[in-house]
A and B are shown apart, each in its own frame.
Chain A
Amino acid sequence: DQQVKQNSPSLSVQEGRISILNCDYTNSMFDYFLWYKKYPAEGPTFLISISSIKDKNEDGRFTVFLNKSAKHLSLHIVPSQPGDSAVYFCAASAVTGTSYGKLTFGQGTILTVHP
């Protein structure tokens, strides 16, 4: 079963505009959420995270929003830059239960930022 879902396989945005990447989860035990960026033939690079006790976390151009009741989180990138073009993965973890010690990843969204 896919506990973390990124329903948009791809997203295309103009440079300078906002990019919004979405992620849904089903496991109520998840209490920590992360976004990673990945280039081909490289490992994922950590971008930003959020604990389930918060609903928003900002770091420069990146903001993550968490809606626990909807089991939904989103990553906003403002303004988008061509260098942001990559695959973005949403991931979730839980302190306890069968998810302990591991990240569960979504399938990824390919972001393309056009100059």
Chain B
Amino acid sequence: KAGVTQTPRYLIKTRGQQVTLSCSPISGHRSVSWYQQTPGQGLQFLFEYFSETQRNKGNFPGRFSGRQFSNSRSEMNVSTLELGDSALYLCASSLQGANYGYTFGSGTRLTVV
């Protein structure tokens, strides 16, 4: 059974650019959530999607957005990148949501220069 796949693994972008990260969940999983991990803030919830609908959103500015497709694959987009957006972005999938436990991907390491 394939795990959660995130692409790309590493990314370097310049301030002001935008970036799109991709996540393919475990087959059959309909809930996909995104987290940002930084040394100072730890693991912070960005948003969660279930059957193409955003069910919950964390405390991040509107520059952070996401979507989910009919096959449950998800993308997140960050526009007008700032240096502080440098982080490990983790995607996780679950059958139905947090109470079923999440399986995480290996993450995308984004560096903004």
List A residues at the B interface (Cβ < 8 Å): 31-32, 34, 36, 41-46, 49, 89, 93-95, 98-108
Q: Are A102 and B99 in contact (CB under 8 A)?
A: no
Contacts of A99 in B (CB 8 A): 56, 98
Closest Cβ of chain B: how far from A4's Cβ, in Å? Answer: 10
Is residue B64 contacting chain A, with contact meaning CB distance below 8 A? no
Q: Are A104 and B45 in contact (CB under 8 A)?
A: yes
Q: How far is the CA of A42 from the CA of B104 in the complex (A)?
A: 9
Closest Cβ of chain A: how far from B108's Cβ, in Å? Answer: 10
Q: Mark B66-100, 1 if CB is under 8 A from A, else 0.
A: 00000000000000000000001010100001110
Closest Cβ of chain A: how far from B63's Cβ, in Å? Answer: 19
Q: How far is the CA of A106 from the CA of B98 in the complex (A)?
A: 15
List B residues at the A interface (Cβ < 8 Å): 4, 31, 33, 35, 42-45, 48, 50, 55-56, 58, 88, 90, 92, 97-99, 101-107, 109
What are 7 A-B contacts defined by CB distance under 8 Å? A41-B106, A43-B92, A49-B101, A100-B55, A101-B98, A103-B98, A103-B102
Q: How far is the CA of A105 from the CA of B35 in the complex (A)?
A: 10
Known: A34-B101, A93-B98, A102-B58. 20 other contacts (CB 8 A): A32-B99, A41-B88, A41-B107, A42-B106, A43-B4, A43-B90, A44-B90, A46-B102, A89-B43, A95-B99, A100-B97, A101-B31, A101-B48, A101-B50, A101-B97, A103-B43, A103-B98, A103-B102, A104-B45, A106-B42
